[in-house]
């Protein structure tokens, strides 16, 4: 098996909460994890990686309290993309159907864009109350 399942993202995103504090961009409720129903291992790996990435962002923001959160977020994203591209290299078997969509650099970028759009749209931060297209009556 090469590909991960992303079904856990939606459940995980629901556990995240916005904090008003400048130093903590995203709040993380790890205490709620133990109350969740059992997940399959793929979901657990996904949720663990997702949660730890958010925690890392929060830790970096606390450690460098003069840092721009955008710089931290861009660095996290660049690191995630680096890891994703490393992990999604085709297995080398030219007949492998599972690797077919990611068997070229363009194919991997296409899959990366698809996932980026999916994760963004599933995030509770996709829409912001301060979006310029939000009505202010």
117 binds Zn ion (CB under 5 A): no
CA distance 117 to 99: 21
Cβ atoms of residues 48 and 11 within 8 Å:
no
The one among 91, 109, 117, 120 contacting Zn ion by CB under 5 A: 91
- Of 32-40, 47-55, 75-83, 94-102, which part binds Zn ion (CB under 5 A)? 94-102
Q: Write the interaction track for Zn ion spanning residues 96-115; mark x where CB under 5 A is met and - where it is not.
A: x-xx----------------
Q: Which of residues 15-74 bind Zn ion (CB under 5 A)?
A: none
The DSSP result for 21-72, as a single string, is -TT-SEEE-GGGGGGSPP--HHHHHHHHHHHHHHHHHHHHHHHSTTS-HHHH
Query: Which stretches of the chain bind Zn ion, using CB under 5 A?
Result: 91, 96, 98-99
């Amino acid at each position: 098996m090469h590909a991960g399942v992303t079904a856990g993202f939606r459940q995980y995103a629901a556990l995240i909460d916005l904090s008003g504090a400048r130093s903590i961009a995203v709040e993380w409720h790890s205490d709620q994890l133990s109350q969740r129903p059992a997940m399959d291992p793929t979901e657990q790996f996904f949720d663990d990686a997702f949660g730890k990435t958010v925690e890392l962002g929060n830790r970096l923001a606390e450690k460098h309290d003069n840092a721009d959160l955008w710089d931290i977020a861009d660095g996290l994203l660049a690191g995630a993309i680096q890891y994703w591209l490393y992990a999604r290299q085709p297995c080398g078997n030219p007949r492998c159907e599972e690797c077919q969509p990611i068997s070229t650099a363009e194919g991997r970028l296409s899959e990366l864009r698809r996932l980026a759009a999916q994760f963004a749209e599933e995030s509770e931060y996709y829409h912001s109350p301060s979006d310029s297209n939000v009505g202010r009556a």
